[in-house]
Structure formats: structure tokens, C-alpha cells
Structure 1
Amino acid sequence: MGEISGANGNHEVSLNIKDSDANHNPPPPSTATKQGSTSSFSFPFVQKLIAEVLGTYFLIFAGCAAVVVNSDKDSVVTLPGISIVWGLVVMVMVYSVGHISGAHFNPAVTIAFATCKRFPWKQVPAYVVAQVIGSTLASGTLRLIFNGKQDHFPGTLPAGSDLQSFVIEFIITFYLMFVISGVATDNRAIGELAGLAVGATVLLNVMFAGPISGASMNPARSLGPAIVSNTYRGIWIYLLAPTCGAISGAWVYNIIRFTDKPLREITKSGSFLKSKSSRNGS
């Protein structure tokens, strides 16, 4: 869900600064290759896209499977169970591939990071396509496994009015992106807990918003099942509301992020950086 992306964005800035001295200290060929732009379809960038496809696939497969099984087995999973599944799978995938692709798994998160200049716009279309492919493949897998009487639509549909679902989706995605921005892009936060914090936020949102809007928070999560089942009722809600909510959440956090402290003091105050330096020194 975009958790480690902020760190990647800052890292790219540092690479650009290093490249300004290339005329004085030209890097060896191997280093120059590693410092090349990741916006082109280089092998490292393809690895990121594969990680996004796989991460989104397992995210949607696990979460939507819980929804399908709950519908087929007389609500045996229950709403708290579905919420736990969504929260745990987000946490697990963040820790699994967050260091590779940034673990977005969500077009709204990718776009929100890009608007804040924490992710290159050139990579946004490829990331979004990879996320939608992963979601569609997961939904197709579930359709093949659970067919006939077991075939239940695992997507998101408004339980009430469209406006009600739109507002709920906006708020919960704002909440999610606000947390992501805090734990994953701010050096003063404890970076190792990013996956846990984001997964817990998803769990909470699904718990209270699931019965109302389906608690999508992710255009790919809603679009994949819609494509496989050819069910597009209210799909505009789940494309527009999460995107607007994520952008708003990221920008609001940026407003409160600003501080008069010098950069050196900010980085020294980060618990995550302290723990890293202590491990390196041991």
C-alpha cells in the first residue's frame, strides 16, 4: 500500500545530488548503471513492477477469498475475521516486498505520492497497470476456484446511497494515507513499524466501513473484481473517492510535517535512524 515509497523518493534525490559531481569523480561503469534512471524499463524497474503485480495479487486474493468464503459458508469468517485478513495481508506484503517496489499495491497511494513529488510521475502509469493486473488475476483465480453455487461477487458495492459510500471511502482513504505518510516517509517515525501501523489502519477501516461501502480504499481492489464479474455498479465511487482521499491525506500530513528544525536535527531525532545506527555500530 505505498508504505516504503517515501524513502525511495528521498533516495532518488540523494542520487541526483551525487550525479552533479560526476564530472569530477566519474563512477565506475557498474555504479553508473545502478544510478541510471528507474523511469525507463530497466531490469530493476521491471523487478519493481513484478513485485507490485505479485503483492497486489496476494493482497486481493487473500482479502477477497475471505469475503467469498464468508458468503459461501454461512458467514463463518464474520466481519471481524475479514477485517483481520485484510489487515494481516497488507502487513505481510509490506514487509515482504516493500524494500523492492515500495509496496504501493494501490493506484490511489501511487498517485498521492506522485503529487507530493515523492514518486516519479513517469512511473505512475506502469505501477497502476501492474496493480490492476494483479487485482484482476487474483479475482480471476477466485472465479475459477469458486464457481457455480459458490460464485459470489467479491467486489465492493454501496450498501446505501452513492453519496454515503463516496464520503466513507474518502474519509477512510484519507485516514490510511495520513498514516502511511507519517510512518513511512517521516524520518522521525519508527520505520520498522510501518507495515504494522498500515495493516492495523486497514483492519480498523474494514471493521466499521465494510458493511457500508465495502471499505475499498483502493481503486485496483474494486476494479479487478468488477472486470472479472462484469459488475460496474458504483465503480466511479471506488475510483474517484480513494484517489481524492489519498491525495488529501498526503498533503495534509505534509502541512503538519514542516518544522523549523534543521535537517540534521530532524534525522537525529528519528527513532528508526537511531536503531539503524546503533546496529551498525555494534
Structure 2
Amino acid sequence: MKFARQFTGELIGTFLMCFLGIGAVAVATLFGALTGPGQVGLVWGLAIAIGIYVTRNLSDAHFNPAVSISMILAGKMKVRDLPAYLLGQCAGAFLAAGSLWVLFGDSVAKNLSNNGLTMSTNSIGSAATIWCEVFPNTANGTVPMMVGAFAEGFGVFLLCLVILSLTSDENKGKPSSLIAPLFIGLTITVLINVIGPLTDAGLNPARDIMPRLWAACVGWGSICFGNNIMDTICVYVIGPFVGGIVAALVYRYILKPMHIKKNDDEVEA
């Protein structure tokens, strides 16, 4: 029963996050309905907050394998619960990618036709990027693989540090649990504004990999995993996991003891 509850919570929350967030990318790419990382990032932030509110009584509302690993290392989650979280996250992201294809598949075909492309002759700048993140995501700068991996990893480091700080009892300055999801969502919004122009700001291995797999299933071809699959894995998978791990260690062994010490000092005073 616990496995089913956690799996369902992560599936629904990750689905909502990816359907609404990647959906924002889709309407921006295909219809110009949203412009720039600011508007798209705001949708992502609200989508995450909504997902947390809907599912946090079922699971701890991670929606992200890197966050789940971070919570384990921070001592806030049991290793035995990890399979339910990972399976739910991957299933939710894959179902969201499929649902978006149903909605926008015809519009994608029109977009490719207008640009003289097909799914077998697509390019990095085509509608495929709705499902397949790319780096560099800019014509105005240079983003080597190591820079991309650092951007994604540091983004997840900040995200996990915020989540730990806003949900840990040791931090007496944290906001009410009623509004904490909004601040977590807004953290994603600002990260997308800073990192998005470099790497699309995936910040989540499940959110990145599962839409790529869907794109491969429907025939996008070699673009699904970028120009170099190892570079793609380093940027969008290894980078986020490293960032989450470092955040957990920093919070558990540096910030958490400081919070506890401050609380003890206040009691003694």
C-alpha cells in the first residue's frame, strides 16, 4: 500500500509538472504564445507548486530523481522507498510526453513543413526541442559540455538546498507549509531564467530522459539524444545527480548543525 501511494503521488505530480511545463515550451515553440524563459519559467514554477499541493499527502512530492537521491543522503528519506519514487517519476514524465504528442503532433508536422524539415531531417532548432532539450541553447554564447553540466548541476544544487531549507524542522525561519510549495516553484522559475538560455534548464533526469524516449518512439531520429549522447548524459543526468548529492551533504553536515546550534543557543539564553 505504501509503495502504491508513493508511486501514485510521484506519477501524478510529475505528470502535472511535465504536462504543464513542457506544454508551455510547446506553445511557445509552435505558436509563439509565450516568449522567453521568463514566461515559460513562470508556468514551470506554478506547475510544480500545483503538483506539490495535489500530491504531497501521497508522497513527499519530489518529481525528480536527483531530489530523491538528495533527500536520502540528507537523511529525510529511506532507501527502500526509492523504487516507488523513481518509477512514478519516470512513468509520469513519459505519460506527459505522450499526452503532449497527442495534442501537438499535427502542429509539429506543420511546423516542420513550414521550415522545410521532416522528422528524419530535423535540426537542433526544430520543434523536436519540445521533447529533446539541447545545449547550447543560445546563438550568442559558447556552452561546452563541462559548462552545461556545471549549469545543470549547480541549478539542482540550489534547488535541493532550497527544498531542504524550506522543509526541515531545524530551520525555524522556514515559511509555512501552506506557502512553501510556491517558493519551491518560484525557485525553478528563477533558475530557468538564468540557466534556460544555456541548457534549456532541465534540472531533472526524469523530465529530460523520458520525453527523449518518447521522441525516439515516434520517430524523431538521431536528434533525440543530441549531437553526442555522452555529452547529453553528462549535462542532463550526471550533472543534476552530482548537484543533488552535494546539496544534501552541505545541508546535512554544514547548514543543519548551524541551525541546531542556533536553536540550542536560543534555548540557553
Cα deviation for residue 249 of structure 1 reads 1.1
Cα deviation for residue 68 of structure 1 reads 0.8
CA deviations 1:53-96 (Å, max 9, x no partner) are 01000100000011011011136443211010001111111122
Cα deviation for residue 225 of structure 1 reads 1.1
Does 1:150 pair with 2:108? Answer: yes
Cα deviation for residue 125 of structure 1 reads 2.2
CA deviations 1:16-58 (Å, max 9, x no partner) are xxxxxxxxxxxxxxxxxxxxxxxxxxx2331121111010001
**Aligned residue among 145, 156, 161 for 2:144:** 161
Indicate the larger mover: 157-166 or 202-211.
157-166
Provide the rounded CA distance (Å) in 2 between the counterparts of 1:167 and 1:48. 31
Gapped regions of structure 2 (runs ≥ 5): 110-126, 137-142, 217-223, 227-231
Tell me the TM-score normalised to structure 2 length: 0.78
Cα deviation for residue 214 of structure 1 reads 0.9
Cα deviation for residue 106 of structure 1 reads 0.4
Provide the rounded CA distance (Å) in 1 between the counterparts of 2:53 and 2:265. 25
CA deviations 1:121-167 (Å, max 9, x no partner) are 11212211210110011001111211144252323211132122101
Provide the rounded CA distance (Å) in 2 between the counterparts of 1:124 and 1:243. 14
Instruction: Specify whether residues 266 and 136 from structure 1 end up closer, same or farther in structure 2 by C-alpha distance, changes over 3 A only.
Output: farther
Identity of aligned residues (%): 27
2:149–2:234 Cα contact (<8 Å) kept:
no
2:12–2:51 Cα contact (<8 Å) kept:
no
Instruction: Specify whether residues 190 and 123 from structure 1 end up closer, same or farther in structure 2 by C-alpha distance, changes over 3 A only.
Output: same
Provide the rounded CA distance (Å) in 2 between the counterparts of 1:264 and 1:178. 20
**Aligned residue among 117, 135, 141 for 2:75:** 117
Tell me the secondary structure at the aligned position of residue 57 of structure 2.
Answer: helix
Does 1:180 pair with 2:163? Answer: yes
Provide the rounded CA distance (Å) in 1 between the counterparts of 2:233 and 2:150. 14
**Aligned residue among 242, 247, 250 for 1:249:** 247
Cα deviation for residue 168 of structure 1 reads 0.4
Cα deviation for residue 261 of structure 1 reads 5.2
Instruction: Specify whether residues 267 and 99 from structure 1 end up closer, same or farther in structure 2 by C-alpha distance, changes over 3 A only.
Output: farther
Instruction: Specify whether residues 69 and 261 from structure 1 end up closer, same or farther in structure 2 by C-alpha distance, changes over 3 A only.
Output: closer
1:226–1:232 Cα contact (<8 Å) kept:
yes
The alignment's C-alpha RMSD in Å is 2.2
Gapped regions of structure 1 (runs ≥ 5): 1-42, 269-282
Cα deviation for residue 260 of structure 1 reads 8.4
Return the letter of the residue paired with 1:235.
Answer: I
Alignment partner, residue 240 of structure 1: 238
Return the letter of the residue paired with 1:205.
Answer: L
Tell me the TM-score normalised to structure 1 length: 0.74
Instruction: Specify whether residues 229 and 172 from structure 1 end up closer, same or farther in structure 2 by C-alpha distance, changes over 3 A only.
Output: same
Alignment partner, residue 227 of structure 1: 213
Return the letter of the residue paired with 2:133.
Answer: T
Cα deviation for residue 266 of structure 1 reads 8.9
Cα deviation for residue 236 of structure 1 reads 3.6
Return the letter of the residue paired with 2:160.
Answer: M
Tell me the secondary structure at the aligned position of residue 195 of structure 2.
Answer: helix
Return the letter of the residue paired with 2:235.
Answer: I
Return the letter of the residue paired with 1:185.
Answer: S
